[in-house]
Amino acid sequence: MGMTISQKILAAKSGASKVSAGDIVLADVDLAFANDITAPISIDFVKKLGVNVFDKRKIALIPDHFTPNKDISSANQCKIMRDFVKERDLPNYWESGEVGIEHALLPEQGYIKPGMLIVGADSHTCTHGALGAFATGMGSTDVGFAFATGKSWFKVPESIKFIYKGKRNRWVGGKDLILYTIGKIGVAGALYQSMEFTGDAIKELPMEDRLTMCNMAIEAGGKNGIIEPDEITIEYLKERNVKESDYTVFKSDSDAEYSKIIEINVNDIEPQVAFPHLPENAKGISEINDDIKIDQAFIGSCTNGRLSDLQEAAKVLKNNKVAKYVRLIIIPATVDVYKQAMKEGLFDIFMEAGAVISTPTCGPCLGGYMGILADGEVAISTSNRNFVGRMGSKKSFIYLSSPAVCAASAVAGKIISPDEVVK
């Protein structure tokens, strides 16, 4: 019996010729990172051990959740990171003005490569599987252990193979594919399993959409999301000056064992909207019969704050106005995205429509700042979670969608299809 791509990476990093689902391995980590919420705990762990980090080049600290600082508490969190970086002379740190959301910044800057084993003190670390890496989120102390030793324990997960067939419809991207998938299997449908995304529709999917899909693997309970590297992967890496000699491509064996194989015809998928209060409450846009009026629309986050997301939103917002009493907040995920969007004139489109644009930050996604919801308010968001209280008040309501649906809804003041705005 062969191995899946996830099993091959864990085997390679643990020095084993073969691993199977359920095995416990101690593996070498290629990259360990944390943010301004999670890093202080990891740093405290390292200091208590009285050791240095295992490899300065393989540690990254990204102050993205409350950047620029929103209050004294968040400022102190960032200061702990900054002081540690200075003390240990760590190169992979980004200050305000250059920082971006970690799961957008690291791939964009060429830190993520196929075949890597990556751990992050954030649940959406699974994003980086889009480049053929095994990437998973861990607790801060676990990441602190990785900071200190360069190693981490893993239980080898079972894998579910998702085969996406057919051609995508208009306005359907990675966000719609993953919302549809989570709607199909549920928020615990891939609990501690590797979600392997394959098929002709995936091969035609741009890298930024692949990052979106893997980002939300955790919303189905997945240990990681992963896509085998192909020509699109290699081209993405070349654009970031990453040489093919700098990484190893792993692919699943034809006789690899899967706990399930799920086939999905993307011809049947239309733009999706996840209703409160779980990502599994996904419906096609045509299934929404009631007028769902909104108070706020948010386009951004590690899920959908990349350049192609902003370009999609601009197609909808061009020559349109945000509905009265609706707040449209747009936050580019990185400084490079910010600069390119500005260069392409997207900011002009957004501001003429009546949107607010922020410097890169996680902001409202986690109910941090830059768009907190009040009691009873309704938001549509391109982020990844719509749990009770996720973006503010526990009495608020969050719907998840793609940037196109979010932008169209901001214009209409209610949740609608982009086709109703862009004729």
> Which residue type, as a one-letter code, is found at position 397?
F
Q: How confident is the model at residue 333 (pLDDT cuts 50, 70, 90)?
A: very high
Burial call 183-206: b when 16+ CB within 10 Å, e when fewer? bebebebbeebbbbbbbebbeebe
**Pair (112, 154) in one structural domain:** yes
pLDDT of residue 280: 97
**Pair (254, 355) in one structural domain:** no
Q: Examine the pLDDT at 423 and tell me if it is beyond 80.
A: no
Q: Which two tokens stand for residue 115?
A: 């075949």
Q: Examine the pLDDT at 289 and tell me if it is beyond 90.
A: no
**Pair (357, 251) in one structural domain:** no
* Residue keyed to tokens 């399930």: 260
Q: How confident is the model at residue 381 (pLDDT cuts 50, 70, 90)?
A: very high
Q: Examine the pLDDT at 67 and tell me if it is beyond 90.
A: no
**Pair (250, 370) in one structural domain:** no
CA-CA-CA-CA torsion for 275, 120, 195, 276, nearest 10 degrees?
-10
E runs forming strands in 203-344: 224-226, 260-265, 272-274, 282-284, 296-299, 327-330
Helix (H) or strand (E) holding 40: helix 39-49
**Pair (376, 298) in one structural domain:** yes
Asked if residue 68 has a cis previous peptide bond (ω within 30° of 0), the answer is yes
**How far apart are alpha carbons 73 and 79 in whole angstroms?**
10
Q: How confident is the model at residue 338 (pLDDT cuts 50, 70, 90)?
A: very high
Of 210, 241, 265, which one is at a domain's C-terminal end?
A: 265
Residue 14: CATH number of its domain: 3.30.499.10
**Pair (170, 56) in one structural domain:** yes
**Pair (256, 337) in one structural domain:** no
Range of the domain at 126: 5-265
Q: What are phi and psi of 146, to 5 degrees?
A: -65, -40
> Which residue type, as a one-letter code, is found at position 226?
I
For the chain, the residue count is 423
**Pair (204, 312) in one structural domain:** no
Q: Which two tokens stand for residue 250?
A: 């792993």
**How far apart are alpha carbons 151 and 164 in whole angstroms?**
34
In the chain, % of residues over pLDDT 70:
100
Residues forming beta bridges with residue 225, ordered by sequence position: 195
Number of domains in the chain: 2
145-186 pLDDT, tens digit each: 999 999 999 999 999 999 999 999 999 999 999 999 999 999
193-246 pLDDT, tens digit each: 999 999 999 999 999 999 999 999 999 999 999 999 999 999 999 999 999 999
**Pair (354, 408) in one structural domain:** yes
Of 221, 236, 265, which one is at a domain's C-terminal end?
A: 265
DSSP structural state of residue 380: E
Mean pLDDT of the chain, nearest integer:
97
In this prediction the pTM is 0.96
Q: Which two tokens stand for residue 232?
A: 């699109």
pLDDT of residue 111: 97
**Pair (243, 345) in one structural domain:** no
Q: How confident is the model at residue 253 (pLDDT cuts 50, 70, 90)?
A: very high
**Pair (312, 248) in one structural domain:** no
**Pair (248, 287) in one structural domain:** no
Of 265, 299, 330, which one is at a domain's C-terminal end?
A: 265
Beta carbons within 8 Å of 44's beta carbon, 6+ residues apart: 144
